[in-house]
Structure 1
Amino acid sequence: MGITTKLSGDGSELYLAIDGRFDFSLHQEFRGAYESKDQVVTSYVIDMKATTYLDSSALGMLLLLRDFAGGDHASIQIVHCNQDVKKILSISNFEQLFDIH
């Protein structure tokens, strides 16, 4: 459980896979995953295929990533959400802030 990261060959895209519960216990790990990169990352992919749960702190962490990545100009995709996760994101109107697949 936790977060797996992978940087594209040219360093422009950061892939983050979240395994298990996405809650406050992952705050430091999630933040460290995107803040510690030396390259200039211009797009992010958050893979929630293995995410079983997310809470309000996870929503807050996604918003912090969005701010870090450039706010309204950020390129962030959230992919492979199960129905429960997609419903939480939808109720929170996150489809207006993120590209959700």
Structure 2
Amino acid sequence: MHLNVQHDSEQDCLTLQFSSRFDFSVHRSFHEACLGERKPSRSYVIDLGEVESMDSSALGMLLLLREHAGGDRAEIRIVNASCALRGTLRVAGFDKLFTLH
């Protein structure tokens, strides 16, 4: 599992692009990229364009990011998710917590 992280310092936007599977195998990378010592960015983009599957730990990581980024004030967009992943996110109620594109 690979995690590509890009930070647009002008917009203070952190983009996380996952490949293949979004699961516990990226926990350390995910934590270091956006939760650790780093102050919250103004906005986040979670790119699931290459993700074929995600598990409950991925959902947990998204919730941790939301909390870290300010809860209801957080600007987190989930983009390029397949129909199946969008369905999973909707069933879990994540369409009410995050912006899905």
Match of 1:44, SS state, is: strand
* Amino acid aligned to 2:88: I
* Amino acid aligned to 2:17: A
* Correspondence list, 1:1-101, <5 A: 1-10=1-10, 12-35=12-35, 41-101=41-101
Match of 1:6, SS state, is: strand
Q: Is the 8 Å Cα contact of residues 34 and 40 (structure 2) preserved in structure 1?
A: no
Q: Percent identity?
A: 41
- The gaps in structure 2 that reach 5 residues or longer are none
From the superposition, tell whether residues 61 and 40 of structure 1 become closer, same or farther in structure 2 (CA, over 3 Å).
closer
Q: Is the 8 Å Cα contact of residues 6 and 16 (structure 2) preserved in structure 1?
A: yes
Deviation at 1:35, TM superposition (A): 2.8
- TM-score when scaled to structure 1? 0.92
Deviation at 1:9, TM superposition (A): 3.5
Q: Is the 8 Å Cα contact of residues 12 and 39 (structure 1) preserved in structure 2?
A: no
Deviation at 1:2, TM superposition (A): 1.2
- State how many pairs are aligned: 101
Q: Is the 8 Å Cα contact of residues 53 and 85 (structure 1) preserved in structure 2?
A: yes
How far apart, in 2, do the equivalents of 1:40 and 1:11 lie? Answer: 13
- TM-score when scaled to structure 2? 0.92
Q: CA RMSD in A?
A: 1.6
Q: Deviations over 1:9-41 (max 9, x none)?
A: 426100110111111111111111113575651
* Amino acid aligned to 2:5: T
